[in-house]
Amino acid sequence: MTPAIAAAPALSAHRMGAFEPSVLRSNRLFESRDLDEARERISRVMQPHEVWRVGGRADGGASSHMDFVRVGGIGLGTIDFGEAVQLEVDAIDDYHLLMFCLRGRAETRVDGRAIAASTHEGIVCAPGRDFSAALSPDCEQFVVRLDRAMVQGHAGGELHFNEELDLRRPELQPWLEQLRAMATSPFLLASAQRNPLIAVELERLLVLLLLEGQGRRAAAPEPRAARGIASACVHRAEAYMQSHVEEPMCLADIAQAAQVPVRTLLDSFKRFRDHSPMQYLKEMRLELAHRRLQRPDAATRVSAVALDCGFVHLGRFSQAYSRRFGESPSVTLQANL
C-alpha cells in the first residue's frame, strides 16, 4: 500500500500551471460525507474503483465532492475527498485518463510505475493500464477523460501518450490553455454542448495539441485531402445523429444527411471512429438515457426513458446500459429519486 503523504506547500500561480475551473463549479455532480457514496457516484461517470481513507478519523466525516461535464468524447472533472485517501483502479476502461492536482499532491502508480502528481505535473494512463494514487489531505484532482474511439478518430490510429504530463513544458502550454478555456468559459462550453460540430472541433484540438506538446505523432496518417473529405462526412453524420437522437433513424437516413453513399459512410466511420455509425448512435442514446435517469421526477420510469431514447427492446437496453455504466438503469433511477 502506498503511504499517505503530507500536504504540500502552496505554489505560486506562475509555477502552478493549474487554474480555477469556474465552469465546472456550476456543474457539481455530488457532495457527500460518506466515502462509499462518493466512490459510487464517481464510478458512474468514470468507472468502478476502490477507495479508502488513510489515517484520520475512523468514522470519516470529511466532505467530498465532484464536479463533472461532458463535451462530446471528453469528460472534465474535479474530485476532492477532503481527507487523505488511497484509490485503486484495476484497469482503466476504454478511455485515456489524465490527472493533475489543482491543489495538494498525489503519489501515483501507472501500470506499476511511480509518478508524482501536483499542480505542475500529472499523469496519463492508457486504456487497460492499472492506476493507483495516494492523495494528500488537501488534494483536489483535475481529471480529463478522453474516450479511446474519439482519440483514435482524431489521431488517425492507435497511439500511446507519454505517461508523464509536465505542465511547465512550453510545448504543452497551448494544450493547457485550451483545457483552461474549456473549464473556465461558460459560453464556450454552452456552444459545444449545443452544437455537435463545435464539440468535435474541441475534441480534435485537445487531442492534437496534447500530441504536439508531448512530441508525438499518430502512426500512418491518411493523405490530407482524403482525411478532410472523410472527416467532413463523419462530422455531418454525427451532427445529424446528435440533433435527431430521439427520433427513429436507419443507416440510409444518416448517409443521406452526411451527403455520401452508405458504403462511404461505413468506411469513413471505420477509418476515423473505429466503429459503425449505428454503434455511435447507440452510445449517444445510452448517454441520453443515463442523463435522464440521473435527473428523474416522480413519474420517471425506466421503460419510458428507454423508449424515448430509441430503445424498443427493454432487456437489451438494460444489458447495454449495465455494460456501459456499471449498474442497471433501475439502480441509477432509484439512487436519484
Weakest mean pLDDT among 25-39, 179-193, 316-330: 316-330
Quote the pTM value.
Answer: 0.65
Task: Please state which of the ranges 46-55, 176-185, 268-277 shows the lowest mean pLDDT.
Answer: 268-277
3-class DSSP string for the chain: CCCCCCCCCCCCHHHHCCCCCHHHHCCEEEEECCHHHHHHHHHHHCCCCEEEECCCCCCCCCCEEEEEEEECCEEEEEEECCCCEEEEECCCCCEEEEEEEEECCEEEEECCEEEEECCCEEEEECCCCCEEEEECCCCEEEEEEEEHHHHHHHHCCCCCCCCEEECCCHHHHHHHHHHHHHHHCHHHHHHHHHCHHHHHHHHHHHHHHHHHHCCCCCCCCCCHHHHHHHHHHHHHHHHHHHHCCCCCCCHHHHHHHHCCCHHHHHHHHHHHCCCCHHHHHHHHHHHHHHHHHHCCCCCCCHHHHHHHCCCCCHHHHHHHHHHHHCCCHHHHHHHHC
Q: Which of 146-150, 252-256, 275-279 has the highest mean pLDDT?
A: 252-256
**Per-chain mean pLDDT for the chain:** 84
Write out pLDDT tens, residues 220-241. Answer: 334 433 444 456 788 888 888 8
Residue 70 has pLDDT above 60, yes or no: yes
Q: pLDDT tens for residues 161-218?
A: 899 999 999 999 999 999 999 999 999 999 988 887 788 889 989 998 999 898 754 4
